[in-house]
């Protein structure tokens, strides 16, 4: 039998529970990372394509239908909030005076909302990365305590009798690191992607605000977008 597997099978109940918990955390972390990777990759692709399409479309009459076509893109939610605020200003008649500040705030809130949606549950990955080594260390400490207790009951002690118990205890630390290291790497990769996506959203928001300011007189009765008017 494999020595590591044999050590696990001979571990105490507490050590086995620690290993099972770490195994569950590892499976959950990898499943989450796979799902989050696909979500962020899709968001990055959609925001990049949306920004290019918005640049190429020209005026708002041509650009907004392009943005409305992709409702899964973060840029869709940003556009909808901005248009909603713009239309509210057109109804009050204060478009020229309040457009810059009010729409800018609406864009800021929209970007924050989209980024928060994309980073949802990312704290779970950070929790796994931060706690897994300590859970593994707890299993190691418990295993070593159990080994020392067993050693104290022996009349003669040699390396052959001490080594199996110590090896069994150290497996928990190794498994804890096995869980934590990928989680840390995944968290940092996702944070970098989120920062990149947020940058694209900020760039788009600035361009959308400029278009609204320049074309406001042409849309004095409001803009139609995703049911907003």
CA distance to 66, 70, 138, 154, 190, per residue, from 51 (Å): 10, 12, 50, 73, 21
The pLDDT, as a whole number, for residue 164 is 64
The pLDDT, as a whole number, for residue 224 is 82
Residue 118 is assigned to a structural domain of this protein: yes
* Counted domains in the chain: 1
Tell me the whole-structure pTM to 2 decimals.
0.85
Residue 226 is assigned to a structural domain of this protein: no
The pLDDT, as a whole number, for residue 121 is 84
User: Are the C-beta atoms of 25 and 179 separated by less than 8 Å?
Assistant: yes
The pLDDT, as a whole number, for residue 39 is 94
Residue 203 is assigned to a structural domain of this protein: yes
**DSSP string computed for the chain:** --HHHHHHHTS-HHHHHHHHHHHHHHHHHHHHHHHHHHHHHHHHHHHHHHHHHHHHH-SHHHHHHHHHH-TTSHHHHHHHHHHHHHHHHHHHT-HHHHHHHHHHHHHHHHHHHHHHHHTTTHHHHHHHHHHHHHHHHHHHHHHHHHHHHHHHT-SS--HHHHHHHHHHHHHHHHHHHHHHHHHHHHHHHHHHHHHHHHHHHHHHHHHHHHHHHHHGGGGTT---BTTB-
Residue 16 is assigned to a structural domain of this protein: yes
Collect all residues with Cβ–Cβ distance below 8 Å to 66 and sequence separation of at least 6: 50, 53, 54, 57
The pLDDT, as a whole number, for residue 202 is 96
Residue 227 is assigned to a structural domain of this protein: no
Chunk the chain into consecutive blocks of 10 residues (it has 229) and report each block's average pLDDT, rounded to whole numbers.
Answer: 61 80 92 94 95 88 89 93 88 76 92 93 90 90 78 65 70 89 94 96 94 82 73
The pLDDT, as a whole number, for residue 115 is 94
User: Are the C-beta atoms of 68 and 226 separated by less than 8 Å?
Assistant: yes
Residue 25 is assigned to a structural domain of this protein: yes
Residue 228 is assigned to a structural domain of this protein: no
Nearest partner of 179 among 64, 51, 3, 22, judged by Cα = 22
Domain that residue 167 falls in? 3-219
Residue 224 is assigned to a structural domain of this protein: no
The pLDDT, as a whole number, for residue 9 is 65
Show the 3-state SS of 60-98: HHHHHHHHHHCCCCHHHHHHHHHHHHHHHHHHHCCHHHH
């Amino acid at each position: 039998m494999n020595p590591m597997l044999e050590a696990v099978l001979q571990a105490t109940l507490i050590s086995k529970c620690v290993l099972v918990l770490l195994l569950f955390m590892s499976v959950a972390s990898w499943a989450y990372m796979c799902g989050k990777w696909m979500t962020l990759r899709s968001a990055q692709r959609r925001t990049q394509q949306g920004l290019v399409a918005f640049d190429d479309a020209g005026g708002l009459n041509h650009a907004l239908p392009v943005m409305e076509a992709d409702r899964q893109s973060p840029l869709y939610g940003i556009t909808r909030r901005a248009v909603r605020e713009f239309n509210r200003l057109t109804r009050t008649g204060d478009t020229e005076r309040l457009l810059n500040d009010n729409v800018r705030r609406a864009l800021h809130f929209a970007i924050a909302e989209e980024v928060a949606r994309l980073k949802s549950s990312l704290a779970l990955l950070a929790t796994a990365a931060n706690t897994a080594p300590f859970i593994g260390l707890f299993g190691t400490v418990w295993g070593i305590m159990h080994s020392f207790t067993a050693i104290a009951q022996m009349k003669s002690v040699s390396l052959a009798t001490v080594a199996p118990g110590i090896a069994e205890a150290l497996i928990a630390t190794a498994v804890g690191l096995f869980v934590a290291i990928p989680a840390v790497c995944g968290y940092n990769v996702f944070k970098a992607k989120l920062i990149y996506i947020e940058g694209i959203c900020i760039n788009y928001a600035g361009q959308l605000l400029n278009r609204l300011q320049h074309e406001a007189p042409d849309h004095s009765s409001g803009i139609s977008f995703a049911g907003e008017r």
